[in-house]
Amino acid sequence: MNRREALRTTAVVVGGLLLTPNGLVLASRSDAEQQKSRVLTAADQALIEEIADTLLPTTRSSPGAHAARAGAEIDLLLTDCYEPDAQVRVVNGLKEFRRTCDARFHRGFAQLPAASREAFLRDIDAEAMRAGSAHWFGLVRELAERAYFSSEIGMTKARRWVLVPGRWVGCVPLEPGQPAWG
């Protein structure tokens, strides 16, 4: 083997080693494989999006959590940014939520009228306030807010978003109904 062949072979081997873990393997993963690596199942993601949409509903001035596709973002945040104990707490909390909703209303949360949804979430929120940070609902509420307000819809429709706001003013009075700055 001459030097030219040795360099070419080495370049191919090293280039293959550098590309495979970073690019080709990750790019070749299907959506089903990516979903398997997530914390929430498709049913859990749909339920958590319904909860988020009840907490952050569509109004005259801004779309709600459904429009922002908050369920997928919550799943991503929970998978990538939270410890396993928090992940388990949310998954178990959603199971408990389903059981309680079925026992109380004899149907799923998504089939309830808006007023019943809100009342049910208020009851769970009161329970979470009594239980403290160990309760799962505080984490779900936090995830819903983060997912919504970090989305394009949350940043541009629910908040007043300006690409280059100009000079910084520390305290600006808001008029009633005026959205906060994003």
pTM higher than the cut 0.85:
no
| pLDDT bucket at 23, cuts 50 / 70 / 90 | very low
SS (H, E, C) the chain: CCHHHHHHHHHHHHHHHHHHHHHHHHHCCCHHHHHHCCCCCHHHHHHHHHHHHHHCCCCCCCCCCCCCCHHHHHHHHHHHHCCHHHHHHHHHHHHHHHHHHHHHHCCCHHHCCHHHHHHHHHHHHHHHHHHHHHCHHHHHHHHHHHHHHCCHHHHHHHCECCCCCCCCCCCCCCCCCCCCEC
Per-domain boundaries in the chain? 43-158
| pLDDT bucket at 158, cuts 50 / 70 / 90 | confident
| pLDDT bucket at 101, cuts 50 / 70 / 90 | very high
Q: What is the pLDDT of residue 173?
A: 80
Mean pLDDT of 46-56: 95
- Give the model confidence (pLDDT) of 104-151 as tens digits: 999 999 999 999 999 999 999 999 999 988 999 999 999 999 999 999
Whether residue 73 contacts residue 147, with contact meaning beta carbons closer than 8 Å, is answered with yes
